[in-house]
Amino acid sequence: MINRPCLKIAVSVPVKSAFFYEVPERLDSCALVGCRVLVPFRKRKVIGYILEKSPGVHDLEVKEILDVLDTEPLFHKSLVPFFEWMADYYLHPIGQMIQSALPGGINFNPFKTALLTEKGSRILERSAPVSQEREILTWIRDHPGKRLPHPLRKITPLEKKGWVTLEDRRQKKSAGPLMRRFVRPKAKMSLESVLEKMGGPLKAENEVQFLKTVFDTGPFALNELTSRFRNGSYLVNKWVKKGALESYKAPVYRSPGGNIVCPASVPSDLYGQQRRALNRIKSYLDKSNFHVCLLYGVTGSGKTEVYYRAVEHAIGLGKQAIIMVPEISLAIYMEGIFRSRLGNRIAVYHSRLSRGERYDEWMRTIRGEVDLVIGARSALFVPLSRLGLIVVDEEYDSAYKQENSPRYQARDAAVMRAKMDKAVVILGAGTPSVQSFQNAATGKYHLLSMPDRIENRSLPDVEVVDMKCLKDKKTGNEIISPRLLEALNKNLLAGNQTILFLNRRGFRSLYLCRFCGQSIRCPNCEVALTYHFEEDRLFCHYCGFYSKTRMTCPSCGRKGIKAYGFGTERVEQELKAMFPEARISRMDTDSTRKKGQAFQILKKFSEHEIDILVGTQMITKGYDFPRVTLVGVIAADLSLGFPDFRAGERTFQILSQVAGRAGRGDQRGEVIIQTFNPAHYAVQTATAHDYKSFFEKERELREQLNYPPFSHLVCLRLKGNSKDKTEKAARELGTNLRDILAGWPKKGKEIQVLGPAEAPIARLKGKYRWQILIKGTSMSLLRHLLNAVEKDSRKVLQSRGVSLILDVDPYQMI
């Protein structure tokens, strides 16, 4: 029987469950829940996270932890059940789930490195020009001290031959507090005594001012003192030596805010619909119980003001709040609005912050120095201990779905977190997701409607231009119809602003051979390359591959390559040719790659230094630009073409959102939608601003086909370097799944297995891709099936060089 504290630890390696460890006495006082520890795990040392600490008395044979890596916890006890739920629901190892939730860069993972011996260098000189050994030795020579990219089993034979030596290394900590030097008066020192000691009044006015400043205001950043006073560093040294001042190091917070778009003026009063919605939210907040409100307000109905007052109310009750927005630039915009009214007890949290800034914001949050955190989906995990309110703005946005590991839906997870914390959730949307609206329709969520635009502004007039007719007549160009051109002209003359939306970047979307019909494709992916004018190169939008443009066809060798199609870059250029006097800008991932660029464009647009803004989805989000009176959708069909049951929903949402940018000021707005499918129900209902009809139609389709929200989906994606092996593995996995289901006579019928089938993009980043969809009404039954099949499959798949990705509630099935 041992009687020593026992820790439940989630280790940061791909294993499902947590493990138990003991604490040696010397580490006991600092081993707190939420701290990172170093633990032995299968002959390695790995980082783990303390989930639980129990007083001990157990009879298990457990190992001891080696070290505690934090002086204060990184998360609260109350977050542990949420992490556990996330890991369980999204079928992801808990340690890795926590690792990705915490600010990046704080972990140093021990790793192995190799150095070339003298013998090794000689061998390298003499070895055959192409051999695996040579490849490995060359890498080791060129990357001293770096983490080995090869599996150890390939290196140890070389070590045995005496060609290389292996070493254990630790990565340097790359994020942590930012330390600055400060200067302050020494304890029990007063200005008078210092001046006296100096023997009468000082002659140098500069020096007197210097001392007065330090003694009056207390701690001073050294760099500030030296920049403010002549000979500042000399004076600091002098008085430190004399024993009047002392200098010390202390952490400071980096300030991520920096540039903030100035918010519009504060509305003095609420409109009736805002007041009714807010009162309901307040009553839920007062009860301190879990409630989900779907705040369904058309674009321009004043949702942000409701968020603001709800947050204010929650803070008044001594609670804390999280506001999640789908886009980082929107987080910056939101921050401006809230900071100007709530002051500095706000943190921002998103991936655009530097690692250091993220670390600082996280630590301010766990220390209880903030009341509100604004961020993108990663803000879901911030350690607030008195969480009372979570706002998920534009809840339908697919940006809430994280598409790389760990895969999760931040909106859905936010609802779960609120449930655990007995908090209130506001899901805000102008075009609610079918799932959320269905939840409201069945009474699971409270529906709060704000059907009118504030100040009784009317919704914009929407006009649809059928591009099929345009093509037949061969009039104008393929991008901008005469109708849109006319409206653009009129709007420019009136001195108003225009937004043109096209969800495709680049200049030309297709390079096709006129003779054999082959397109120039990415060598790594089954997709066509897009031409970018600025770089004068062809790019793959999936893997980043690029190549020079060429005129000869790679398939038939003839000079028949011709460019087709268009993206935002080309729209911008055409417009510049049509309206040389207009100020035209473009906002897409290409034009906003550098930090601050997106902000600069938005700022210029809000200050009316831009007449026409061309952009991708980025510009459809909730910004408020009162001078925009015309919105043009260049091609509404792009989102309809996706092989996905949400294609209709996405199209409706995008069209409504982008249309909602028009007419938010005093003047009426106008929207022109160009499409090849004017009769599609998503286009028609969006044109009529008729969400209810859209929802009814969509709900009916989903129910017929048994798609979410009437079922749950999990996508099993298989990726491998070999075409045959990947296909074979997929087929076997499919058979396994069906076999297991056949063994469950009753429950087995509740689950449908679709596939395996080649993924719509059959090859991506060099990997062949297959997928299997499983569908069922009970998520726990689906998880049960996956746990059963995963155990056996992983190893078999691994041996074939095929990896398996489980995507729960998938959004992208391409």
Q: Which of 658, 575, 662 is nearest to 612 (CA)?
A: 575
Least Cβ distance, residue 525 to Zn ion (angstroms):
3
**373 binds Zn ion, rule: CB under 5 A:** no
**454 binds Zn ion, rule: CB under 5 A:** no
**Residue 718 structure tokens:** 């298989």
Q: Do 444 and 658 meet the contact criterion of CB atoms below 8 Å apart?
A: no
Q: Is the peptide bond before 406 cis (omega within 30 degrees of 0)?
A: yes
Least Cβ distance, residue 803 to Zn ion (angstroms):
18
Q: Which of 348, 322, 331 is nearest to 425 (CA)?
A: 322
Q: Which stretch binds Zn ion (CB under 5 A): 357-365, 406-414, 466-474, 541-549?
A: 541-549
Least Cβ distance, residue 535 to Zn ion (angstroms):
16
C-beta atoms surrounding 633 within 10 Å:
28
Q: Do 221 and 182 meet the contact criterion of CB atoms below 8 Å apart?
A: yes
Least Cβ distance, residue 558 to Zn ion (angstroms):
6
Least Cβ distance, residue 131 to Zn ion (angstroms):
29
Between residues 517 and 643, which has the closer beta carbon with respect to Zn ion?
Answer: 517
**546 binds Zn ion, rule: CB under 5 A:** no
Q: Which stretch binds Zn ion (CB under 5 A): 87-95, 141-149, 535-543, 781-789?
A: 535-543
Between residues 545 and 566, which has the closer beta carbon with respect to Zn ion?
Answer: 545
Q: Do 572 and 564 meet the contact criterion of CB atoms below 8 Å apart?
A: no
Between residues 513 and 628, which has the closer beta carbon with respect to Zn ion?
Answer: 513
DSSP 796: H
Q: In the set 18, 513, 655, 797, which binds Zn ion (CB under 5 A)?
A: 513
Q: Which stretch binds Zn ion (CB under 5 A): 80-88, 93-101, 514-522, 596-604?
A: 514-522
**538 binds Zn ion, rule: CB under 5 A:** no
Q: Which stretch binds Zn ion (CB under 5 A): 120-128, 217-225, 376-384, 538-546?
A: 538-546
Least Cβ distance, residue 544 to Zn ion (angstroms):
7
DSSP 186: P
Q: Do you know the residue count of the chain?
A: 814
Least Cβ distance, residue 406 to Zn ion (angstroms):
24
Q: Do 729 and 792 meet the contact criterion of CB atoms below 8 Å apart?
A: no
Least Cβ distance, residue 546 to Zn ion (angstroms):
9
**522 binds Zn ion, rule: CB under 5 A:** yes
**515 binds Zn ion, rule: CB under 5 A:** yes
C-beta atoms surrounding 327 within 10 Å:
21
425 forms beta bridges with 292, 390
Q: In the set 152, 494, 516, 814, which binds Zn ion (CB under 5 A)?
A: 516
Residue 583, SS3? coil
712 forms beta bridges with 776
Q: In the set 107, 524, 585, 722, which binds Zn ion (CB under 5 A)?
A: 524
**671 binds Zn ion, rule: CB under 5 A:** no
Between residues 313 and 541, which has the closer beta carbon with respect to Zn ion?
Answer: 541
Q: Which stretch binds Zn ion (CB under 5 A): 218-226, 453-461, 484-492, 505-513?
A: 505-513
How far is 314 from 424, CA to CA, in rounded Å?
Answer: 10
Q: Which residues neighbour 525 within 8 Å (Cβ) at sequence distance 6 or greater?
A: 540, 542, 543, 545, 761, 763, 764, 765, 766
Q: Do 185 and 214 meet the contact criterion of CB atoms below 8 Å apart?
A: yes
Interface with Zn ion (CB under 5 A), residue total 13
**525 binds Zn ion, rule: CB under 5 A:** yes
**519 binds Zn ion, rule: CB under 5 A:** no
H-state helical runs in 295-422: 303-316, 328-342, 355-366, 410-420
Q: Which stretch binds Zn ion (CB under 5 A): 161-169, 301-309, 507-515, 740-748?
A: 507-515
Q: In the set 556, 688, 754, 814, which binds Zn ion (CB under 5 A)?
A: 556
How far is 255 from 305, CA to CA, in rounded Å?
Answer: 26
**545 binds Zn ion, rule: CB under 5 A:** yes
**425 binds Zn ion, rule: CB under 5 A:** no
- Amino acid identity, position 444: K
Q: In the set 235, 553, 772, 797, which binds Zn ion (CB under 5 A)?
A: 553
Residue 507, SS3? coil
Between residues 427 and 522, which has the closer beta carbon with respect to Zn ion?
Answer: 522
**814 binds Zn ion, rule: CB under 5 A:** no
How far is 112 from 668, CA to CA, in rounded Å?
Answer: 65
Secondary structure (DSSP) of 154-170: HHHHHHHTTSEEEEEEE
Q: Which of 745, 727, 701 is nearest to 801 (CA)?
A: 727
**555 binds Zn ion, rule: CB under 5 A:** yes
Angle between helices 328-342 and 303-316 (to 10 degrees): 50
**561 binds Zn ion, rule: CB under 5 A:** no
Q: In the set 236, 294, 418, 540, which binds Zn ion (CB under 5 A)?
A: 540
Q: Do 587 and 615 meet the contact criterion of CB atoms below 8 Å apart?
A: yes
Q: In the set 542, 642, 676, 710, which binds Zn ion (CB under 5 A)?
A: 542
Binding site for Zn ion (CB under 5 A): 513, 515-516, 522, 524-525, 540, 542-543, 545, 553, 555-556
